[in-house]
Amino acid sequence: MICGAILGAAACSPHKIPPMTVSDFMEDRVKLDGVILKCNQDPALARSDADCLNARIAVERLAAQNESAREAKRAEEFERSREQLRMLQDKQRDEQEAKTKVDAYHLPLVPVEPTAPPKDPQSPIVGQTSQ
């Protein structure tokens, strides 16, 4: 009879629901929002309730994950824009070098004037015979 009374009392007592873990809150954002809202409405409960504490930790971890993801995205965008700038500068440098480069095959022809023969009386001139 005593065993029956103990079993009956145990069956009638409310089952204590274990608090949700931090990872549970991180996976289920709706529950996280609900618990945070409940904890914000009752600050005395928020200091002692395991769900409130775990929910706050989950919020902090999610914020850290989001921040690291944003930082990685910013770094990726920076590298992409830096590479585009390098390519643009290389292209401009190549164009400038092409403009200043001298191509001997495309230079204009300039007539070369023959040099005047030397006026030295001692030297023989080609085509003259000496007498």
Q: ∠79-82-88 over CA atoms, to 5°?
A: 145
Is residue 10 helix, strand or coil? helix
Give the 3-state DSSP-derived string for 56-104, with helices as H, strands as E and coil as C.
Answer: HHHHHHHHHHHHHHHHHHHHHHHHHHHHHHHHHHHHHHHHHHHHHCCCH
Name the residue ranges covered by the structural domains of the chain: 18-97
pLDDT at residue 47, as a whole number: 62
Sign of the dihedral defined by the CA atoms of residues 120, 123, 126, 131, in that order: positive
Roughly what angle, to the nearest 10 degrees, separates helices 29-41 and 50-100? Answer: 120
Confidence tier at 40 by pLDDT (50, 70, 90): confident
Confidence tier at 85 by pLDDT (50, 70, 90): very high
- More confident: 43 or 49: 49
Q: What percent of the chain has pLDDT over 90?
A: 20
Tokens 């902090």 belong to which residue? Answer: 60
Residues 74, 38 contacting (CB under 8 angstroms): no
CA distance 13 to 7: 10
Read off the pLDDT of each residue in 44-64 and give the average, rounded to a whole number: 84
Q: pTM of the full predicted structure?
A: 0.46
pLDDT at 91 exceeding the cut of 90: yes
